[in-house]
Structure 1
Amino acid sequence: MSATPRRTLAVAAALTAVLGSAAPALAVSAPALVNAPMAATAHPLTAHGGILHSTSSNWSGYAATGQKFTSVTASWVQPAASCNGDDTYSSFWIGLDGDGSSSVEQTGSEVDCSGGSPQYYAWYEMYPAYPVNFSNTVRPGDHFTASVTESGSGAFTLKLSDTTAGWSHTVSKTLKNAALASAEIIAEAPSDSTGALPLTDFGKINFTGATANGKSIGSFSPENITMASNGTTLATTSALSGGSAFSVTWKNES
C-alpha cells in the first residue's frame, strides 16, 4: 500500500490550519520524525557466549563497535503491521554510526499505523538531517537488500533495492565528520522531539546476509540489543545464525 508520508501530512495539516482550506497544495519537506542514534539505558553491557547484550529504548538488533567501519549490508522481508487504532511507528534499516556517536548514515523501510491503517514506505537518512522518503510503493512481503558504504573523505553511497517490486535507489552523500565507529542492522521505534514513539506491532522481521566491512556481523562480537522502556520489553533480538542472520520480534510485555 502506498501512502503519503506521515511527515508531509502533519506539516500540510498545520499549513491548512493557518492558511485556510483554500490554501494551495504544497510540496512540504519538513519532517517531524527521525530515525535517531541508539538511546541506551543505564543498564551495563553484559556478555553471553562472546556476544554483548544491551538495552535501548529505541533500537533492537545488532550493532558492531570497537573499530572503524566503512560498510554494512543486509537483506530483510518487509513485515506486515497489526494496527489497533493507535498511531504507532516502526522502521527497519542498516547503517553506519549511531551507537555512541551523534550521526547515523542509514537506509531502510518502514510501517506506521495512522488512524488504524498501515502505511508502508522506504527512505534514506543522513542523521541529524531529516529522512528522505522514496516515492516507490512498498508492500508487506517485499524483499529488500541494502548497503551503506563510505569510500573515503566522508563520501557515502546508500543503496536500497526492493527486489520484489523491481526498484532500486543509489544515493551519494557526503558527511565529513562521521565517526565510522559502528555498523548496525536495526528495528527501531522512530523518534520525535520528545523521544521514541510507540512501536508498531510488526510481528517478526528476519534479517539475512548481515555483514560489516565485508565480514559477517558475528565476526565482530556485536551487541545484541533489546528494545525496552519503563519496564516494558518492546522487541527482542534472536541469537545469530551462521553469524549473519537473526530475527527481531515485537513483544510489548511488562
Structure 2
Amino acid sequence: MSATIRITAASAVAAAALSAFATAPSAVASAGPAFRHTPVASHRLVGPGGRITHSTSSNWAGYAASGGTFTSVSASWVQPAVSCGSATTYSSFWVGIDGDGSNSVEQTGTEADCSGGRASYSSWYEMYPAYPVNYSNTVSPGDHFTATVSVSGTSFTLTLSDTTKGWTKTTKKSSSSAQKYSAEIIAEAPSSSSGVLPLSNFGTASFTASTANGQPIGNFSPDKINMASGSTTKATTSALSGGENFSVAWNHS
C-alpha cells in the first residue's frame, strides 16, 4: 500500500484532466491516465506486517501462494463493467509476484473506476514502491485479458495482452530487492496515503488459467482471500475449479 500521494503541481494539467473527464461519455473506455485520480491508487496488500491474516484482507480478494520461490504468475480475465453511482470508487484486477509478506510487488493489470457517475477503464504496470504507470491503450468492459509476470535473476518481464482488441504491452524492469516469496491473482480496492479507497461495484470478476511457476495455482495450497473491513465483507472469492479457475464477487464499497 502506497504511503504517498502523487500531487499534480501544474494547474493546467489538472484542468486538462478534469476537462477530459467532464466530456467523456458514460461507461466508455479511457485510454491512459486521463481518468486517474489524485491520490493515485497503489496495489499493495494492507495488513499487519504486510501479511494476509485468516484469509481476509482490507483490500485484496483472490488467491495468493506463498512460502516458496516464485518465478512466474499468469491468469486471464474478462474486464468487468462497473456500475457507477455518485461516489468516486476504484477497482483493479491483476497478477503479481511478491506483496504477501514483502515490501515490493511486481504486477500488471487493469483498472475500473467511477467518478461523477461515469466509468473509466485503463491498464497499467507497477514495480512497487514505485508509482503505477498507465498504458495508453484503450480498455473496454468485456475485453479479454491475459497477464503474466516472470522473473529471471533480477530481471522482470511484465506482459499484458488485450486479446479482444489485439494489443500487447511488454515491460522489462529490474529489481534487486524482490524476494520472489509469493504469487498472487487479485481483485483489489486500490489505496492512497489516507488508506483503502472505496471499491467500485464490478459485479463479478472471473479469472481463468491461473498459474504460478507454470502450474495451476491450486498446486501450491494458496490462501483464498476475501476482502473485508471490520464486519463488512466487500468482496468474496469462490473456491478454485480445476485448480486454476475462480471468481470474485463484489459485495460492498
TM-score higher than 0.5: yes
Uncovered stretches (5+) of structure 1, i.e. residues with no partner: 1-6, 22-26, 47-52
Following superposition, the deviation at residue 33 of structure 1 comes to 2.1
1:20 deviates by 9.4
Q: Which residue of 2 aligns with 1:185?
A: 185
Q: Deviation per CA, 1:80-135, whole angstroms, max 9, x where unpaired?
A: 00001100000000000001111000000010001110000000000000000010
3-state secondary structure, aligned to 1:67: coil
Who is 2:86 aligned against? 85
Report the CA distance between 1:16 and its aligned residue: 1.9
Q: CA deviation at 1:140?
A: 0.3
Shift of 1:194: 1.1
Structure 2 CA distance for partners of 1:67 and 1:20, relative to 1, 3 Å: closer
Write the letter of the residue equivalent to 1:143: H
Task: Compute the displacement of 1:41 (Å).
Answer: 6.7
Larger-gyration structure (1/2): 1
Structure-2 residue corresponding to 1:150: 151
* Percent of aligned pairs with the same amino acid: 60
Alignment correspondent of 2:64: 63
Equivalent residue, structure 1, for 2:218 = 218
Query: CA RMSD of the aligned region, Å?
Result: 2.8
1-structure distance, mates of 2:14, 2:233: 43
Give 2:27's aligned residue.
none
Distance 1:41 1:20, change over 3 A: closer
Q: Which amino acid aligns with 1:163?
A: T
| TM-aligned CA deviation for residue 231 of structure 1 | 1.6
1:101 counterpart letter in structure 2: S
* Alignment pair present for 1:37 and 2:41: no
One-letter amino acid of the counterpart of residue 89, structure 2: T
Q: Distance in 2 between matches of 1:243 and 1:41?
A: 29
Could you tell me the TM-score, scaled by structure 1's length?
A: 0.84
What is the CA-CA distance between 1:146 and the residue it aligns to?
Answer: 0.7
Partner of 2:135: 134
Q: Partner residue of 1:3?
A: none
| Stretches of structure 2 lacking an aligned partner (at least 5 in a row) | 17-32
Q: Which residue of 2 aligns with 1:204?
A: 204
What amino acid is the match of 1:158? L
User: Paired residue for 2:162?
Assistant: 162
Give the paired residue count: 231
**How far apart in 1 are the matches of 2:152 and 2:93?**
24
Measured after TM superposition, the shift of residue 30 of structure 1 is 11
What amino acid does structure 2 have at the position aligned with 1:201? N
Asked whether 1:102 is paired with 2:109, we answer no
- The residue correspondences of 1:233-244 to structure 2 (distance < 5 A) are 233-244=233-244
Does the Cα contact within 8 Å between 1:37 and 1:101 map onto a contact in 2?
no
